[in-house]
Each structure stands twice: as C-alpha cells, then as structure tokens.
Structure 1
Amino acid sequence: MTDWRLRASRPDDIEAMYEVWHAAVLATHDFLSASDFADICLQVRRDYLRNRDFIVAVDDGDRVVGFMRVDGTEIDSLYIAPAFHRQGLGRGFVDEAASGIETLEVEVNAQNTHAVAF
C-alpha cells in the first residue's frame, strides 16, 4: 500500500523539494566534505531546482516526499525523503520513468552505496 502519488512539480514545490534533497543527501552521501556539501546546497537551491521540470511524489496532504527528473532515457535525479526510504517509492519512480521507453539509464556516484544497492 502506498501513502503517496506522483504528479508534475510546480513552482511552489521548490522549497519542499530542496528539503527532501537536503535530507536525502545527508542520509546517503557521507563521503561529501562539509564545504563541498555547502557549495552543492547553494547550486541546488538557486539553480537546479528552479530551472527544471520534475515528477514529485506527494503524500495525502500534497506534501513533497520525493522527486525525480528524467532527461530523455536517463534518470537525471532521484531523491526520496528518508522517512519514505524502502517503501516502494523508488520503484514507483523508476516504473514511471520506464513507461513508454525501451531502455532506461541511470548513473550514480559509486561512493553512494545506497544508490548503488538500489
């Protein structure tokens, strides 16, 4: 049973998406230095989330709990709030991305053992 649904992102989702991204990276990217993480935070908040379209997963209160971006046949980004890890949301995003295409690609940082395992 899922406690979320997928929809297109909206401009008013950006702050919630940033919070999901931030929590997910803190939970899974322990290989980043504090200064690198701070630099990436600025880039993600000011540029990346504001200038692209995403698919978001929202809970029954329409609060963002995860998001994904697909660029052609590649999953460009996939972040899920830690409270929603291991509940099928990642699989739901991948199934959505794969619908209607023959080959789906994803690239992950080899140091992110959670993403490699997924």
Structure 2
Amino acid sequence: MMMKIEQAKKKDHQKLIEIWESSVRATHDFLKESDLQALKPLILNQYFDAVDLKCVRNPDGEIMGFCGVHGDNIEMLFVSPDVRGKGVGSALVHHAIHVQSVKKVDVNEQNEQALGFYQHLGFTVTSRSPLDGQGNPYPILHLVLC
C-alpha cells in the first residue's frame, strides 16, 4: 500500500479525532462510553498539541492513521479500522523509531492486540502501572524497544 508520512496540521485534527474514536471503538472494548466521551475533548483540545503528531496519507491524500510522540515515547498510535493490518501502524512505528528516536511505548493491558503488535516490532514489557493516565483502573504496561 502506497502511503506518505507527514506532519499533521491543526486542520487535520477533526479527521484525526474521528480515526481515534473509530479505532478505540474497534480495539478498546474495555472502555466505558463515559470514558471515551471524557477522553475525546482532552485528546482534541490538549493531547494533540502536546505531541509531535505525524499522519499517514494514502495516494488520494486521505489520512489513514496517526502517531503522536513526546520525547522518546509513543504517546498515541491509531489507525483507521478499515486499513488495520495493512502496514499503516508499522510504518508509523518504524518512522517513530528511526526518525523520531522513540524507545518506549505504553499500552493498556486489556488491549492484547496492541501489546502483540508492539512485541512483534521488538518492544518488551518492563513494568506495569495499575491505573491509566487519568487515574482509571485500566492497567498500563510500559514497554521498551530492545
């Protein structure tokens, strides 16, 4: 699949939050609807601006996924459900590793697909936190690139 990784712009944020929501609904079945609705404005109005945000576009210019990096940590990686398994997430992670010097990522413990994905790409679990970043009882696994 042909794709181009580029810096996401403020005008892309609405499309990114749509991808975030559809991706979360497809992969984070442990979240309550109230959790999702509480996170959405935080991501749109705060978290996007707090990371180096890259997106992947197809040849038609449509955004298929995005990755937010802060320091050496992947803070967010979301791929449109209709292109999952087609290399979009892997391309973003490889870019994050080789261009943005990423070495770490945190994953919800209940998101076994994401855990397997990152382990396949060379990350290893090094520790666990019982609460997520918002203080909710969704354990976080901390992974480091080996």
Please report the TM-score for the alignment, with normalisation by the length of structure 1.
Answer: 0.89
* Identity, % of aligned positions: 27
- Structure with greater proportional helix content: 1
Residue aligning to 2:27 = 28
Partners of 1:54 and 1:69 within 8 A in 2: yes
- Structure 1 distance, partners of 2:47, 2:102, is 25
- Structure 1 distance, partners of 2:4, 2:67, is 13
Residue aligning to 1:107 = 106
- Structure 2 distance, partners of 1:71, 1:81, is 22
Partners of 1:14 and 1:50 within 8 A in 2: no
User: Could you give the per-residue CA deviations for residues 30-64 of structure 1, whole angstroms, max 9, x where no partner exists?
Assistant: 00111111111122223222454301001122121
Find the residue that maps to 2:46 and give its secondary structure: helix
Q: Which moved more, 1:102-111 or 1:80-89?
A: 102-111
| Number of residue pairs matched by the alignment | 117
Residue 5 to residue 102, structure 1, CA distance change in 2 (3 Å) = closer
Runs (5+) with no aligned partner, structure 1: none
* 2:113 maps to amino acid: H
Residue 108 to residue 92, structure 1, CA distance change in 2 (3 Å) = same
- Structure 1 distance, partners of 2:50, 2:37, is 20
Residue aligning to 2:63 = 64
Residue 3 to residue 35, structure 1, CA distance change in 2 (3 Å) = same
Residue aligning to 1:77 = 76
- Structure with greater proportional strand content: 2
Cα RMSD, aligned residues only = 1.8
Residue 32 to residue 96, structure 1, CA distance change in 2 (3 Å) = same
Q: CA deviation at 1:4?
A: 1.9
Runs (5+) with no aligned partner, structure 2: 118-146
User: Could you give the per-residue CA deviations for residues 8-35 of structure 1, whole angstroms, max 9, x where no partner exists?
Assistant: 1111101110111011000000001111
Partners of 1:18 and 1:49 within 8 A in 2: no
